Structure 1
Amino acid sequence: MNDPQAQAPDPAMPPKPGDQSLIPQEHQPHAGESLLKLSIGAIGVVFGDIGTSPIYAFRETFAGHHKLLPDAPHVMGVLSLIFWSMMVVVTLKYVSIIMRADNKGEGGSLALLALVSRSLKGEKRWTKGLVLLGVFATALFFGDSMITPAISVLSAVEGLTVVESGMGEFVIPIAIGILIGLFMLQARGTARIGVLFGPIMLLYFAVLAVLGLVNLVAMPGVLWSLNPMHALAFFAHEPLRAFLAMGSVVLAVTGAEALYADMGHFGRQPIRLSWLVFVLPALMLNYLGQGAMILSATPADAMEIIKSPFFLLAPDEFRLPLVILATMATVIASQAVISGAFSVTQQAIQLGFIPRLRITHTSAAAAGQIYIPVINWTLMVMVILLVLGFKTSTNLAAAYGIAVTGAMLIDTLLLATLLFSLWKWNKAGAGVLILLFLLVDLAYFSANLTKVPDGGWFPLLIGFIAFTLLTTWAKGRELMLKRLNEVAMPVQVFVKSAANSAERVPGTAVFMTTARDGVPHALLHNLKHNKVLHERVILLTVRIEDVPYVSQAYRTQVKEFGQGFYRMVVHYGFMQEPDVPAALSNVQGIGAPLRMMDTSFFLARQTLIASSRPGMWVWREKLFAWMLRNAESAMEFFKLPSNRVVELGSQVEI
């Protein structure tokens, strides 16, 4: 699955999919770093989202939009659901199985989609549907990345009302202030403050475990809730209430997909070790502690405790420090989601689903630390509007879950393709696993659909808007390239007819082209208006492969046409940033080395004319034209020297 912005023929040997040499040594997964160090780092980044769930998940199940009486059968049933959800969804599905589906070390919906697409090469009927599913999962992620900072920070700051009841009117201003500060810091990067993430989250999870254990010791009988029979009994006696409760229970596993998405940062083993040895026990101890505290109280007290069980786990003198620590943890969780939005956007740009956007690297050492201004400010505005519109974390909880469960369901469908088509697992065993995952995912997704009127419409709306934008851009680029290719002149014909008749001038002309074949429109326009050709003409295409990294050895391929004409393809992985001058500086097989002062870069800028030709609805053509006008300049995106660039316009009817 290649970038529609960067298609090219393969004039020489292309990189081979699955060839480990495509990954340069500096991108081999964490060579030389200790497993313990990486595991601690993963705790600070990967588990922020799922780690902050105890602040609101248990509370929302009982005191949310579908209230439950906090008595023994319900508490034991909910705890059993939480535990087995963590075991099936997080431990079995993501940690044990899906994390094996790494695309050269990288994870996430788009990386999984690229892997599945390669496994189904030639099966166009299936590939198209799976691509749409993967794109929709990506679209849902953007909705999730707006809700997560809002609900996480707001739920933590609401702990101030437990410390002092009169603080209620300050919750929203404080939460908005924290969120604005968080988004303002993004341009500076997280390298400096990132070193604090690991120790803070280690302390946070340790506090979760201790608070839960203290209350659990007072009522150890709560441990029996780990028996799945309590969950089954809940469904047997009150099927409707149990079904509705699943819409809130799923909040305990939100962030599971982050384990897979962030796999490229730390590797599979450190994340697995952190989850099984430290994070999972800490989370379950805290949930069990909340349940034990409620069951130890009188029915009247239990009704009050359930309004904020997380903060009431701590004694009075420790509640304010707990609020501060929880707020720091939610900021870290929000930072991870925001960084994830930047990473997903970069992948989508490289894979041809989003127009070029301005991307800034905030760290010279860590290639993955990037900043995308338009995404940052859009997220900030939407997060603030969410806080102002929903006002409480309980209201936001109604909007949370649909995006996450939708993405989880899509991951299961993509995983099914991998198990049967690529990994060739035993059909019976793989079928049982997929049915189990589908049963759980569909139950959670359908339970969350009941929250659509109460706020669940928001992530669906954002998802459909993002899906429309992503698919419109991909389809529009495909149609535009098709129209350009229809009138393209073969290079060999052009070289024979024009090279000898046109005047040749000193220097090198590099014509950037996305066409698979043929002469770029910019070259034809230049010859038509200026009546000259440079001594050396390079038709250059940047091609984004469906692997995260392409090694330097495979960076460029060159084909010579004679008369000073060359076709060059520059290959990058979808996690790499194109730098054309750097790629040209070491290229071989084009005669004398390139000198930037003697090189001119010619870019074509298309102006679209909406038409009734088959392809897209007129409104989508106009939307695509707007996206094309607002895309980042190819000059900046490919790091071309501004004083050596010439832009030539043309009109295209799609």
Structure 2
Amino acid sequence: MTSSEETPLEPADRPAGDHGHHGHGDQKLWKLSIAAIGVVFGDIGTSPLYAFKETFDGHHKLTLDTAHIMGVISLMFWSMMVVVTLKYVTIIMRADNKGEGGSLALLALVSGKTKSQRWSRGIILLGVFATALFYGDSMITPAVSVLGAVEGLAVAAPGFGGLIVPIAVVILVFLFSIQRNGTSRVGAFFGPIMLVYFSVIAVLGVISIVKTPQVLAALSPHHAIEFFLISPLPAFFALGSVVLAVTGAEALYADMGHFGRPPIRVSWLWFVLPALMCNYMGQGALLMRDGVLALESPFYLLAPDSFRLPLVLIATAAAIIASQAVISGAFSVTQQAIQLGFIPRLRIDHTSASTAGQIYIPLVNWLLMGMVILLVLTFQNTSNLTSAYGIAVTGAMLIDTCLLGVALFKLWHWKKRYAIPLLVLFFIVDGAYFTANLTKIPDGGWFPLMVGFIIFAMLTTWAKGRKLMLDRMREAAMPIKVFIQSAANSATRVPGTAVFMTSTPEGVPHALLHNLKHNKVLHERVILLTVKISDAPFVSDDNRAKVEDLGQGFHRMVIRYGFMQDADVPAALKRVHSCGAEFKMMDTSFFLARQTLLPAERPGMMLWREKLFAWMLRNAESAMEFFRLPTNRVVELGSQVEI
């Protein structure tokens, strides 16, 4: 019963600086910065567990000498500066959709400004594909993070080496099984734990740097350039592993709505970036000193023997937090996709009475758990998993750059002399990383691409099928004025209010026609209700409902929500005072139509897509639960639609 808004609501639906339900304006910056460290930086923070090792000991091994070590550290540092600091933290985070970030929020923001352009459909498809790739990423991140942390047992306690995979599976099963309880209580501990983790890896890195201080010279970009001059092809292949150091950069943007820009910028520039670089340089210094001996696990071998087991526990806690953030992100992205019309309605449980953003989607949770465990059992170790990891991340980053290009010219109207050099830099860097990761397709890179294409097919099929269904329903709909004139006086009127949910705010709902045909009565007050989802993340209560009096006790009502909000129809109706008496749920009946698809003579989609859409429609969450309608006040009537 939802439909996407044609244009975003132009008036500011919330006061400037307000980020919707989060309301952090009165909290101190440092508190938010610590909280951001716990939620936002888990993914990029656990990269030191495997990124440096994979660059030298992965599928494309590098010669272990000073020139290559310095070149890799230099590449990692400047990748973080260009991709994370400049692209995401400095520029893309300015593209907030009423405070919210992420590929879908950016897509909604950009598509609203490009609807008249011929290439707008291509932009939308790119944004949807970035979302599809995110699901591939959200399957690999928990697997590689937890497995990377637990692999430290082979270094700290060699006797447990054979139990790494079973222990990782147990941790992952536990992690997914507690999702239904929500993260509101656990969330308070996330910041301090990650604070300890980053502090520990920074200190271990500094201790190693002190022993080999010449590694500090790797911060100069000439070492990265020299790396490509000395070994062009190995350097290109190395990019596929170096990019692991910036995985999670998109999380900074996606989680912006939870914390706002300033705390994320402060956390990154003053704490996370220095801690990561200290650790990477420390690992490089260790490899310079010990060579191949340290390559088994340069992250864990930074620690003295007595501290390795505690480091495994700290790293495992950090990996669980990183995984938790990605799983929560998958729930959030799914909710946005449902509201924007790319995914059918799914059951969404709220795990916190005070924080609207904390949700749990059972179907997504269990599907993710199944795929993550399958990945761990199939790939067995981080070396194999990292081959599958980079391609989803680099693909999403490349698409973000495309969307950023539209934002620079269409949204912010930057001058070409400023925008073009920046975009050229970003496209070169992202393109190089993406191309390098394409070489990993035979070794596991096929997995996120396969997941991405399957989910992309489902998202686009649902959006297309839904549009076709709405078009067919509009074509067959009787004009409301004709219906009122013919039926209002001839049908028996009964006390109470009838709310007929309809996807289209034109014509007569099928449920109303069926109800009159079978029951031969009309209620005293008839509401034709459409729920619309705006391109903006939030719509204020003042702009929630629009009512049109059609006469004879009939009213047309449109209720608007942002794509980050939940559609609570009874709550919205209680605030409406412009169509007669106040709404009382015990006197109100809700009529829903459940569509059955029929084969059409003029098919709008290929047969396999029609069957896929029909299956998705049958398995969609009931509108009754999705709109929070009282179960004992709902009447469901069937209707048939051709697409």
Q: Shared fold (TM-score greater than 0.5)?
A: yes
Q: Which residue of structure 2 lines up, in the alignment, with residue 54 of structure 1?
A: 48
| 3-state secondary structure, aligned to 1:400 | helix
Q: How far is the alpha carbon of 1:30 from its aligned partner?
A: 1.8
Q: Distance in 1 between matches of 2:5 and 2:174?
A: 44
Q: Distance in 2 between matches of 1:21 and 1:77?
A: 48
Residue deviations 1:442-486 (CA, integer Å, cap 9, x gap): 000000000000000000000001000000000000000000000
What TM-score results when the alignment is normalised by the length of structure 2?
Answer: 0.98
Q: Does 1:518 align with 2:507?
A: yes
Q: Which residue of structure 2 lines up, in the alignment, with residue 266 of structure 1?
A: 259
Q: Distance in 1 between matches of 2:168 and 2:592?
A: 46
Q: Which residue of structure 1 lines up, in the alignment, with residue 455 of structure 2?
A: 466
Name the aligned partner's letter for residue 147 of structure 2: L
CA contact (8 A) 1:24 1:549 kept: no
In the TM superposition, 1:21-420 aligns within 5 A as 27=21, 30-123=24-117, 125-297=118-290, 302-420=291-409
| Greater mean alpha carbon deviation, residues 327-336 or residues 522-531 | 522-531
CA contact (8 A) 2:501 2:529 kept: yes
- Give 2:546's match in structure 1, choosing from 557, 577, 594: 557
Q: How far is the alpha carbon of 1:489 from its aligned partner?
A: 1.0
Q: How far is the alpha carbon of 1:8 from its aligned partner?
A: 7.7
**Relative to structure 1, is the Cα distance of residues 436 and 109 closer, same or farther in structure 2, using a 3 angstrom cutoff?**
same
Q: How far is the alpha carbon of 1:598 from its aligned partner?
A: 1.1
Name the aligned partner's letter for residue 78 of structure 2: W
- Give 1:6's match in structure 2, choosing from 3, 10, 13: 3
CA contact (8 A) 2:4 2:340 kept: no
Residue deviations 1:84-115 (CA, integer Å, cap 9, x gap): 00000000000000000000100000000011
Residue deviations 1:314-333 (CA, integer Å, cap 9, x gap): 00000000011000000000
CA contact (8 A) 1:44 1:197 kept: yes
**Relative to structure 1, is the Cα distance of residues 429 and 69 closer, same or farther in structure 2, using a 3 angstrom cutoff?**
same
**Relative to structure 1, is the Cα distance of residues 19 and 311 closer, same or farther in structure 2, using a 3 angstrom cutoff?**
same
CA contact (8 A) 1:22 1:550 kept: no
Name the aligned partner's letter for residue 142 of structure 1: Y
CA contact (8 A) 1:162 1:308 kept: yes
Q: How far is the alpha carbon of 1:238 from its aligned partner?
A: 1.1
| 3-state secondary structure, aligned to 1:575 | coil
Q: Which residue of structure 2 lines up, in the alignment, with residue 608 of structure 1?
A: 597
In the TM superposition, 1:488-527 aligns within 5 A as 488-527=477-516
Residue deviations 1:241-265 (CA, integer Å, cap 9, x gap): 0000000000000000000000000
CA contact (8 A) 1:149 1:333 kept: yes
Q: How far is the alpha carbon of 1:617 from its aligned partner?
A: 0.3
Q: How far is the alpha carbon of 1:403 from its aligned partner?
A: 0.4
Query: For structure 1, which runs of at least 5 residues remain unmatched after alignment?
Result: none
CA contact (8 A) 2:9 2:536 kept: no
Name the aligned partner's letter for residue 257 of structure 1: E
Q: Distance in 2 between matches of 1:181 and 1:649?
A: 42
Q: Distance in 1 between matches of 2:18 and 2:275?
A: 38
Q: Which residue of structure 2 lines up, in the alignment, with residue 576 of structure 1?
A: 565
CA contact (8 A) 2:499 2:589 kept: yes
Q: Distance in 1 between matches of 2:319 and 2:147?
A: 9
CA contact (8 A) 1:15 1:22 kept: no
Q: Distance in 1 between matches of 2:541 and 2:12?
A: 16
Q: How far is the alpha carbon of 1:186 from its aligned partner?
A: 0.1
Q: How far is the alpha carbon of 1:148 from its aligned partner?
A: 0.2
Q: Distance in 1 between matches of 2:355 and 2:627?
A: 20
Q: Distance in 1 between matches of 2:324 and 2:377?
A: 20
Name the aligned partner's letter for residue 545 of structure 1: S
CA contact (8 A) 2:528 2:557 kept: yes
| 3-state secondary structure, aligned to 2:209 | helix
Name the aligned partner's letter for residue 428 of structure 2: L
**Relative to structure 1, is the Cα distance of residues 243 and 104 closer, same or farther in structure 2, using a 3 angstrom cutoff?**
same
**Relative to structure 1, is the Cα distance of residues 22 and 524 closer, same or farther in structure 2, using a 3 angstrom cutoff?**
farther
Q: Does 1:543 align with 2:532?
A: yes
Q: Distance in 2 between matches of 1:44 and 1:333?
A: 8
| 3-state secondary structure, aligned to 1:286 | helix
Q: How far is the alpha carbon of 1:586 from its aligned partner?
A: 1.7
Q: Distance in 1 between matches of 2:498 and 2:71?
A: 71
Q: Distance in 2 between matches of 1:476 and 1:49?
A: 36
**Relative to structure 1, is the Cα distance of residues 440 and 208 closer, same or farther in structure 2, using a 3 angstrom cutoff?**
same
| Greater mean alpha carbon deviation, residues 18-27 or residues 530-539 | 18-27
Q: Which residue of structure 1 lines up, in the alignment, with residue 425 of structure 2?
A: 436
Q: How far is the alpha carbon of 1:495 from its aligned partner?
A: 1.0
Q: How far is the alpha carbon of 1:28 from its aligned partner?
A: 6.7
Residue deviations 1:130-162 (CA, integer Å, cap 9, x gap): 110000000000000000000000010000000
- The number of equivalent residue pairs is 643
Name the aligned partner's letter for residue 196 of structure 2: L
Q: How far is the alpha carbon of 1:611 from its aligned partner?
A: 3.1
Name the aligned partner's letter for residue 619 of structure 1: W
CA contact (8 A) 1:42 1:266 kept: yes
Identity %: 69
| 3-state secondary structure, aligned to 1:306 | helix
Residue deviations 1:318-361 (CA, integer Å, cap 9, x gap): 00000110000000000000000000000000000000000000
Q: How far is the alpha carbon of 1:508 from its aligned partner?
A: 0.7
Q: Distance in 2 between matches of 1:577 and 1:463?
A: 27
| 3-state secondary structure, aligned to 2:64 | coil
CA contact (8 A) 1:254 1:401 kept: yes
Name the aligned partner's letter for residue 589 of structure 2: S
Residue deviations 1:370-397 (CA, integer Å, cap 9, x gap): 0000000000000000000000011001
| Greater mean alpha carbon deviation, residues 493-502 or residues 393-402 | 493-502
**Relative to structure 1, is the Cα distance of residues 618 and 5 closer, same or farther in structure 2, using a 3 angstrom cutoff?**
farther
Q: Which residue of structure 2 lines up, in the alignment, with residue 531 of structure 1?
A: 520
| 3-state secondary structure, aligned to 2:581 | coil
Q: Which residue of structure 2 lines up, in the alignment, with residue 635 of structure 1?
A: 624
| 3-state secondary structure, aligned to 1:631 | coil
Q: How far is the alpha carbon of 1:6 from its aligned partner?
A: 2.3
| 3-state secondary structure, aligned to 2:445 | helix
| 3-state secondary structure, aligned to 1:523 | helix
CA contact (8 A) 1:17 1:547 kept: no
What TM-score results when the alignment is normalised by the length of structure 1?
Answer: 0.97
- Give 1:593's match in structure 2, choosing from 582, 593, 605: 582
Q: Distance in 1 between matches of 2:635 and 2:63?
A: 70
Q: How far is the alpha carbon of 1:516 from its aligned partner?
A: 3.2
Q: How far is the alpha carbon of 1:614 from its aligned partner?
A: 3.6
Q: Which residue of structure 2 lines up, in the alignment, with residue 645 of structure 1?
A: 634
| 3-state secondary structure, aligned to 1:30 | coil
Q: Distance in 1 between matches of 2:244 and 2:67?
A: 20
Name the aligned partner's letter for residue 270 of structure 1: P
Name the aligned partner's letter for residue 79 of structure 1: I
Q: Distance in 2 between matches of 1:278 and 1:216?
A: 18
| 3-state secondary structure, aligned to 2:79 | helix
Q: Distance in 2 between matches of 1:133 and 1:29?
A: 32
Would you identify which runs of 4 or more consecutive aligned residues in structure 1 move more than 2 Å? 4-10, 14-29
| 3-state secondary structure, aligned to 1:443 | helix
